Amino acid sequence: MSMGSPGCEHTAYSPLYISPPHSDARIAWLDEADDIKPPRSLLGLPELSWTGVYLPCNNILAMEENPWVLRMTESPAATPSRTLEVSQAPGQTQTPSYEMEGQVEEHCLEQVQTMVESEVLKDVDTACKLLNIAPDPLDWSCVHVQKWLLWTEHLYRLPQVSTLFQEMNGKDLCSMTEAEFRQRSLQFGDMLYANLDIWRSAAAMKERCPPEDRKSADDDSWSDLIRNYPSQPIHLWQFLRELLLKPHTYSRCIRWLNKEKGIFKIEDSALVARLWGIRKNRPAMNYDKLSRSIRQYYKKGIIRKPDVSRRLVYQFVKPV
């Protein structure tokens, strides 16, 4: 379905490689989250398995905190696969190693691939909910496309690129070749193209295996909470709760101080406001206005200041 839109099929695909500058970084990345996703056993992976892992990491924190090297590479002409494949870094084609190692490596690669796949789906899912857009780019309206672009700008710290794709819906976007992307943005066209590809692949993957088949054991219980993408206005308190329920991704901008009591702290007010702005299509959103909205909840008994009032600390009156 989503793979089959005209124009996309045979265009050269340029994967986005994210490689750690030094080995410590990947460990830091694995260790960083409160709720560790990748199995620790992966730490023992041979270096090769990690260099060139096609990592569609929608994790803003990883992007922010770790100096991952982001570089675009032209894929070898005969890369039949699209995204979500653990690809070898260019130049490092198959190690001519011993059989045993080869097998182990293959196994590890499989593991990594599964892990990466589920991470991608999760990240796409998260973004969908935060932006309130459908997972499949083909379903996007012009507004959705703009939201996605804003989001991507935000994730990858791009300058404003959304203006270059005005009046385009998801189908238009998907029908563009990589060259056409690059025409719009010389610097970031291929990156946007690659990222769009991730989304399309994720959508295709979702089709292949429905969500039931890959139940994850972490904090995704709310997944069906806001299932109805066709725009139901989200409340600020719901949004904050969503962020809080994704510590893996957002603990650096908002986190629980005491989950049982519903006390949370906004660590990065500007970022939270920005995310809220993206979600609500309010580019002028800032913490001043966001906090005013939070204060409206005082009267309604949804959020209050904790007994010992502290800066940027609030409390859900009715905890999770």
Partner DNA sequence: CAGCAGGATCACG
Partner DNA sequence: CGTGATCCTGCTG
Tell me, by CB under 7 A, how many residues bind DNA: 27
Minimum CB distance to DNA smaller for 104 or for 257:
257
**258 lines the binding site for DNA (CB under 7 A):** no
Under the binding rule (CB under 7 A), the answer on residue 237 touching DNA is yes
157 is a site residue for DNA (CB under 7 A): no
For residue 272, state whether it binds DNA (rule: CB under 7 A).
Answer: no
Q: Which of 7, 282, 319, 320 binds DNA (CB under 7 A)?
A: 282
* Per-residue CA distances from 112 to 105, 258, 291, 320 (Å): 10, 34, 41, 33
Distance CA 193, CA 144 (A): 16
**According to CB under 7 A, which one of 7, 295, 319, 320 is a site residue for DNA?**
295
Minimum Å distance from CB 119 to DNA? 29
Between 95 and 296, whose beta carbon lies closer to DNA?
296
Q: Which of 97, 183, 187, 296 binds DNA (CB under 7 A)?
A: 296
Instruction: Note whether 14 and 193 are within 8 A (CB).
Output: yes
Residue of 120, 135, 134, 110 lying closest to 56 (CA atoms): 120
On the 0-12 / 13-18 / 19+ scale of CB atoms within 10 A, 188 is buried
Residues 6+ apart with CB under 8 A from 63: 57, 155, 156, 157
Applying CB under 7 A, does 318 fall inside the site for DNA? no
Write down the least CB distance from residue 79 to DNA, Å: 43
Asked if 300 is part of the footprint of DNA (rule: CB under 7 A), the reply reads: yes
311 near DNA, judged by CB under 7 A: yes
Please name the residues in contact with 207: beta carbons below 8 A apart, sequence gap of 6 or more: 1, 2
Strand partners, 316: 303
Contact region with DNA (CB under 7 A), list: 33-41, 50-58, 127-135, 231-239: 231-239
Alpha helices, DSSP H, located in the chain: 23-32, 47-50, 60-65, 99-131, 142-156, 170-174, 178-184, 189-208, 236-244, 247-250, 269-279, 287-300
Applying CB under 7 A, the span of 100-108, 157-165, 188-196, 302-310 interacting with DNA comes to 302-310
Binding footprint of DNA on the chain (CB under 7 A): 235-237, 269, 276, 280, 282, 284-285, 287-293, 295-298, 300, 305, 309-313
